Amino acid sequence: MTAGNGAKKANAVGINHIALEVGDIDQALDFYGGFLNFELKSKSESAAFIYFGDQFINFAKGRSQSPDDKRHFGIAVDDKELVRETLKAMGVEVLPGRFLDFLDPWGNRVEITTYQNIQYTKAPGVLKGMGLEGLEKTDEAKKELADRGMAPV
């Protein structure tokens, strides 16, 4: 299905980054660094940029809205259960439901998903650069990609 009025439009290729409003940059780096490996590219008192290969999160100081209810973003990881255990050890409450969702200290809702089980795919060179070159998709994820006319990885 193509949305819109038939006019020529740009093709969405992917999501390059998200920006999260947080109360404190150092606390955000400590919190997210408690359960994720990432590369800190730059940091100031009002912003930080953490990279996961070819994508990044921009922490911006200044969140003032109430906690997210349905709005969220997902982070694909290589070991979802390790994140679950680590969050528990950090005292982070996992939200009820079938997903591994939680609120960060500023109310940003995060969903953790397993890279191997979803269609989203990193290029082999990016995985290699991240030290994850052996990370393989499940047969189900490969089938989902093939069913959509995309070559299995």
Round to whole Å and give the CA distance between 142 and 52: 22
pLDDT of residue 76: 96
- Chain segment 71-86, per-residue pLDDT in tens: 999 999 999 999 999 9
For the cut 90, the answer to whether the pLDDT of residue 63 exceeds it is: yes
Q: Which fold is adopted by the domain 17-146?
A: 2,3-Dihydroxybiphenyl 1,2-Dioxygenase; domain 1 (3.10.180)
- Chain segment 84-100, per-residue pLDDT in tens: 999 999 999 999 999 99
Q: Rounded to two decimals, what is the model's pTM?
A: 0.90
Please report, for the chain, the start and end positions of each structural domain, with discontinuous segments joined by +.
17-146
Neighbour order of strands in the sheet with 47-52: 17-22, 55-61, 47-52, 39-43
